[in-house]
Structure 1
Amino acid sequence: MSDDQRQGGRIIFLNGTSSSGKSSIARELLEILDDSYFHLPVDAFHGMRSDRDIPDEHLQAELDRTARGFHRAVAGMAAAGNHVVVDHLLTDPWRLLDCLDVLPAESVLLVGLHCPLPELARREQLRGDRPPGLAARQSAQVHAHGVYDLECDTSRSSPREIALRIKQALARRPSPTAFEQLKLALRP
Structure 2
Amino acid sequence: MDFPNDKKGRIIFLNGVSSSGKSSIAAQLLRELDTPYFAMGVDVVNGLRAKERTLELGADELREVLMRTRAGFHRAVAGMAHAGNDLVMDHVLSEHWRLIDCLAVLDGLDVVFVGVHCELAELRRREITRGDREIGQAEGQLAQVHAHGLYDIEFDTAVQSPRDCALQIKDFVAQPARVRAFDQLRAAAIEKGELRPDRLGVSKSTVS
Q: TM-score, normalised by structure 2?
A: 0.86
Shift of 1:174: 5.4
Distance 1:166 1:62 in 2: 33
Q: What's the counterpart of residue 34 of structure 2?
A: 34
Asked if structure 1 preserves the Cα contact closer than 8 Å seen for 2:81 and 2:109, the reply is: no
Q: Which residue of 2 aligns with 1:116?
A: 119
Q: 1:6 to 1:154 in 2, by over 3 A?
A: farther
Which residues of 2 match residues 141-180 of structure 1 at below 5 A? 141-172=144-175, 175-180=178-183
Residue 50 of structure 2 corresponds to 50
1:13 and 2:13 correspond: yes
1:105/1:21 CA distance change after superposition, 3 Å:
farther
Structure 2 residue identity aligned to 1:15: N
Structure 1 unaligned spans of 5+: none
User: For the Cα contact (< 8 Å) 2:9–2:109, is it kept in 1?
Assistant: no
Q: Is the 8 A contact 2:116 2:156 kept in 1?
A: yes
Tell me which residue corresponds to 2:195: none
Q: Aligned partners of 1:151 and 1:130: how far apart in 2?
A: 24
Report the 3-state secondary structure (helix = DSSP H, G, I; strand = E; otherwise coil) of the residue aligned with 1:108: strand
Distance in structure 2 (CA, Å) of the matches to 1:140 and 1:173: 33
Between the aligned partners of 1:144 and 1:96, the Cα distance in structure 2 is 10
- Residues 48-107 of structure 1 show CA distances to partners (whole Å, capped at 9, x for unaligned) of 112412222311111111000000000000000000000001111100000000003550
Q: 1-side partners of 2:57 and 2:30: how far apart? A: 34
Q: Counterpart in 2 of 1:23?
A: 23
> Following the alignment from structure 2 to structure 1, what is the Cα–Cα distance between the partners of residues 61 and 103?
26
- Cα 1:174/1:56, change in 2 over 3 Å: same
Check conservation: 2:11, 2:109, Cα contact below 8 A. no
Aligned match of 2:101: 98
Structure 2 unmatched runs, 5+: 192-208
Structure 1 residue corresponding to 2:89, chosen from 63, 86, 97: 86
Which residue of 2 is the match for residue 132 of structure 1?
135
Inter-partner Cα distance in structure 1 for 2:28 and 2:83: 24
| Runs of 4+ off more than 4 Å | none
